[in-house]
Amino acid sequence: MLLPEIKQYGKDDAVWQELLEHITHEQRYMFELFTNFKDLLD
């Protein structure tokens, strides 16, 4: 998986880690949002 490798790359950089957490959260949110839209249309 790519994410653990990316986290390891910037493990000592708090800003980098925060950015990755933000991106991960946004990706999960968008996945849930579009899954819910799909379920409404089915």
* Between 3 and 20, residue with greater pLDDT: 20
Alpha carbons within 13 angstroms on the beta-carbon side of residue 13 total: 10
Residue 3 contacts residue 24 (beta carbons within 8 Å): yes
Tally the residues of the chain. Answer: 42
What percentage of the chain carries pLDDT values higher than 90?
71
Structure tokens at 32: 């849930």
Structure tokens at 22: 């933000």
User: Quick check: 1 pLDDT over 80?
Assistant: no
The Cα–Cα gap between 27 and 13 comes to 21
pTM: 0.71
Structure tokens at 10: 């910037």
User: Quick check: 10 pLDDT over 80?
Assistant: yes
Structure tokens at 41: 């249309």
